[in-house]
Structure 1
Amino acid sequence: MAAHTVSTAPTPTRASQPDSRRPKSLSPTQFLRPHVFQSTWLGTPKLSLQSSNPRLSMPKYHRPITAIVTFSLPTAKPERVASTEKVPKWSSKAIKSFAMGELEARKLKYPTTGTEALLMGVLIEGTNFAAKYLWANGITLFKVREETVKVLGKADLYFFSPEHPPLTEAAQRALDWALDEKLKSRENGEITTTHLLLGVWSEDEGPGHKIMSALGFNNENAKELNSLVSKPDFVED
Structure 2
Amino acid sequence: MAAAANSLSATSVVRPEYKQSNPNIPTQNTLIPHETLKCQWLGTISINKLSLHSSNLRPFFAKRPSVNATISFSLPTAKSESVAATEKIPKWSSKAIKSFAMGELEARKIKSSNTDTEALLMGILIEGTSFASKFLRSNGITLLKVRDEILKLRGKPEMYYFSPEHPPITEAAQRALDWAIDEKLKSGENGEITTTHILLGLWQQKESPGYQVLVALGFDDDKAKELHSLISKPGFAEDS
TM-score (norm 1): 0.73
Post-superposition offset of 1:130: 0.2
**In the aligned structure 1, how far is the partner of 2:110 from the partner of 2:92?**
26
* Paired residues for 1:96-107 under 5 Å: 96-107=98-109
Gaps of 5+ in 2: 1-19, 38-68
1:216 aligned partner: 218
Amino acid at match of 1:235: A
1:188 aligns with 2:190: yes
Deviation per CA, 1:69-126: give whole Å up to 9, x if none: 3453111226752552643011110010001000001011110111000000000000
Post-superposition offset of 1:154: 1.8
1:201 aligns with 2:189: no
* Paired residues for 1:49-198 under 5 Å: 62-63=33-34, 67=69, 69-70=71-72, 72-77=74-79, 80-84=82-86, 86-198=88-200
Post-superposition offset of 1:236: 0.6
Post-superposition offset of 1:38: 3.7
**In the aligned structure 2, how far is the partner of 1:39 from the partner of 1:224?**
56
Gaps of 5+ in 1: 1-31, 44-60
Change (3 A) 1:69 1:40: closer
Between stretches 63-72 and 132-141, larger displacement belongs to 63-72
Change (3 A) 1:78 1:204: closer
Question: Is the 8 Å Cα contact of residues 113 and 171 (structure 1) preserved in structure 2?
Answer: yes
Post-superposition offset of 1:62: 3.0
> In the comparison of the two structures, how many residue pairs are matched?
189
1:35 aligns with 2:23: yes
**Identity across aligned pairs (percent)?**
64
Deviation per CA, 1:204-231: give whole Å up to 9, x if none: 1011011001000000000000000111
Question: Is the 8 Å Cα contact of residues 178 and 199 (structure 1) preserved in structure 2?
Answer: yes
TM-score (norm 2): 0.72
Runs of 4+ in structure 1 off by over 4 angstroms are 64-68
**In the aligned structure 2, how far is the partner of 1:202 from the partner of 1:115?**
11
Amino acid at match of 1:149: L
> Which protein is bigger by CA-based radius of gyration?
1
Question: Is the 8 Å Cα contact of residues 116 and 208 (structure 1) preserved in structure 2?
Answer: yes
Backbone CA RMSD of aligned residues: 2.3
**In the aligned structure 1, how far is the partner of 2:171 from the partner of 2:135?**
26
Question: Is the 8 Å Cα contact of residues 71 and 95 (structure 1) preserved in structure 2?
Answer: no
Amino acid at match of 1:169: E
